């Protein structure tokens, strides 16, 4: 038993570590690791990953909420869209052929690779539009000199639409869909990048939790897989977040793009063989 | 003159309410998240440890069953909780996973109650919708 359990834990710790370093989250790496290395069926890998995403999000968002980076109101409004999507996605996952899930996963990996290359670091801080002002979605982020900097939010309907898609992807594929969530908040709603990342991290837990509840109540959560995966990914993510401030981010990004493309190719190939 | 003054006072009072909500959320949300996460992780670790001690063969058998795509029948929640209480390692692990999924549920429920207390009805509606979505998820899972 210890060999199997140790192997699963090692895979999960590795996925959590790489997920934290890349900023994409452990789900993107643990699902292919379980499918390709541990030969777990895609559907069971998705269930186990959703649970690990809940744990990682809860662990990682603590500091962001406390330090004021997370926009709690934006999260609560957009969670309506992501939870709807996640419940629909997790329900569909039980009725879709595994090769379709694998193909979708490959496409999402390619999108994540593209997102990693395109990630911009320049922040724009426009004022809020009337709807966002009415919902009090503007916020303050901690400035370098200690004084808070105000920012607004715009285009809530556009952001919510993308969040619905992110939720469906999360429920279907067992990932946090952090890349898509950051795009929705950063590019579409014009929130500062760091606020988008922190808020996305916070929302991922509820999104994945909604999907995990569908799997759990269906009796389709393999506890023997999900438990070590949840513990391992959380531990790996914790270690990754400690190493991240000392890492060469540019070199890491290039490496992750290569890894994501390789995994996408492998998952795509598996999907084609499964048709 | 009285009307604009009233409006100003009302806006200031709303701003104060928003700031109070924000302060309470930022203080208590991390505590809530961390506490449930630690409790769930402990339950999972204890369950896995007990599995390794009491039934290592059963764990490997379950792992291979999942690999082969076989599905174990799931016990009803009540029976599962009783088994966990009697120290059944697999039931303890499943119970730990349930506690873990409570993390987001508890966080949204906390926000819902806070917004009710502060009479912020717009956000009561948003958080109620999310809670309903989570309940629908459970019901959909039971349907199929």
- Using one digit for the tens of pLDDT, what is the confidence trace for A181-220? 888 888 889 888 888 888 988 898 899 999 998 888 887 7
Using pLDDT thresholds of 50, 70 and 90, give the confidence band for residue B121. very high
The ipTM is: 0.86
Mean pLDDT, residues A14-34 taken together: 85
Closest-CA residue of chain B to A230: B41
Q: Identify the residue among B54, B70, B97 best suited for mutation to test binding to A, counting A beta carbons within 10 A and taking the highest.
A: B97
Chain A residues near residue B57 by CB distance under 8 angstroms: 1
| Per-residue confidence (pLDDT) for residue B20, from 0 to 100 | 78
Judge: B48–A228 Cβ closer than 8 Å, yes or no.
yes
Q: Do B130 and A1 touch (CB under 8 A)?
A: no
Average pLDDT, chain A: 86
Q: Please, which residues bridge with residue A142 across strands?
A: A148
Asked if residue A193 lies in contact with residue A170, where contact means CB atoms within 8 angstroms, the answer is: no
Query: Token match 């795009």: residue?
Result: A183
Q: Is the dihedral of CA A23, A27, A28, A33 positive or negative?
A: positive
Average pLDDT along chain B: 84
| B99/B106 Cα distance (integer angstroms) | 10
Q: In Å, how far are A84, A94, B46 from A89, measured between CA atoms?
A: 9, 9, 32
How many domains are there within chain A?
1
Who's near B7: CB < 8 A, 6+ residues apart?
none
Q: How far is B82 from chain A (nearest CA, A)?
A: 17
Which of A174, A224, A236 to mutate to test binding with chain B, by most B CBs within 10 Å of its CB?
A224
A245-258 tens-digit pLDDT: 777 777 777 888 88
Is there a contact between A55 and B37 if contact means CB atoms under 8 Å apart?
Answer: yes
Helix axes B121-143, A193-217, angle to 10 degrees: 40
Tens-place pLDDT, residues B17-42: 777 778 888 889 889 989 999 999 99
Subunit contact B93:A216, Cβ cutoff 8 A: no
pLDDT of A176 higher than 90: no
Could you tell me the residue ranges of all domains in chain B?
25-143
Domain range holding A147?
A: 2-274
Q: What is the pLDDT of residue A18?
A: 86
Q: Look up residue B80 and give its two tokens.
A: 């599962």
Q: Inter-chain contact A55–B62, Cβ cutoff 8 Å?
A: no
């Amino acid at each position: 038993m210890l060999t199997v359990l140790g192997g699963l834990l090692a895979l999960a710790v590795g996925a959590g570590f790489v997920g934290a370093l890349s900023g994409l989250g452990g789900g993107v790496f643990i699902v292919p690791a379980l499918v390709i290395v541990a030969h777990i069926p895609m559907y069971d890998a998705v269930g186990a990953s959703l649970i690990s995403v809940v744990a990682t999000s809860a662990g990682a968002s603590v500091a962001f909420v406390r330090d004021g980076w997370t926009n709690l109101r934006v999260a609560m409004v957009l969670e309506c869209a992501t939870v709807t999507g996640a419940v629909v996605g997790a329900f569909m996952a039980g009725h879709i052929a595994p090769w379709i899930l694998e193909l979708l996963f490959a496409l999402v990996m390619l999108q994540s690779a593209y997102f990693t290359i395109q990630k911009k670091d320049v922040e724009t801080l426009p004022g809020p539009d009337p709807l966002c002002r009415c919902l009090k979605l503007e916020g303050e982020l901690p400035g370098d000199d200690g004084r808070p900097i105000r920012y607004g939010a715009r285009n809530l309907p556009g952001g919510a639409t993308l969040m619905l898609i992110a939720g469906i992807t999360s429920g279907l594929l067992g990932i946090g869909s952090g890349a898509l969530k950051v795009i929705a908040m950063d590019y579409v709603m014009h929130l500062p990048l760091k606020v988008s990342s922190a808020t996305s991290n916070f929302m991922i837990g509820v999104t994945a939790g909604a999907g995990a509840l569908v799997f759990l109540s269906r009796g389709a959560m393999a506890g023997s897989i999900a438990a070590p995966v949840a513990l391992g990914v959380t531990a790996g993510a914790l270690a990754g977040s400690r190493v991240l401030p000392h890492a060469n981010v540019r070199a890491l990004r290039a490496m992750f793009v290569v890894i994501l493309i390789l995994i996408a190719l492998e998952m795509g190939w598996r999907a084609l063989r499964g048709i | 003159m009285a009307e604009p003054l009233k409006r100003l006072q009302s806006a200031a009072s709303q701003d104060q309410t928003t700031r109070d909500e924000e302060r309470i959320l930022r203080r208590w949300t991390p505590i809530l998240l961390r506490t449930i996460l630690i409790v769930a992780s402990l339950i999972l670790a204890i369950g896995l440890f007990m599995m390794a001690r009491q039934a290592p063969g059963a764990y490997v058998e379950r792992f291979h069953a999942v690999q082969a795509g076989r599905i174990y029948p799931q016990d009803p929640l009540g029976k599962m909780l009783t088994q966990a209480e009697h120290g059944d390692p697999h039931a303890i692990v499943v119970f730990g996973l349930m506690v873990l999924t409570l993390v987001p549920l508890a966080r949204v429920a906390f926000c819902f109650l806070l917004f009710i207390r502060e009479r912020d009805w717009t956000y009561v509606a948003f958080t109620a919708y999310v809670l309903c979505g989570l309940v629908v998820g459970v019901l959909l899972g039971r349907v199929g």
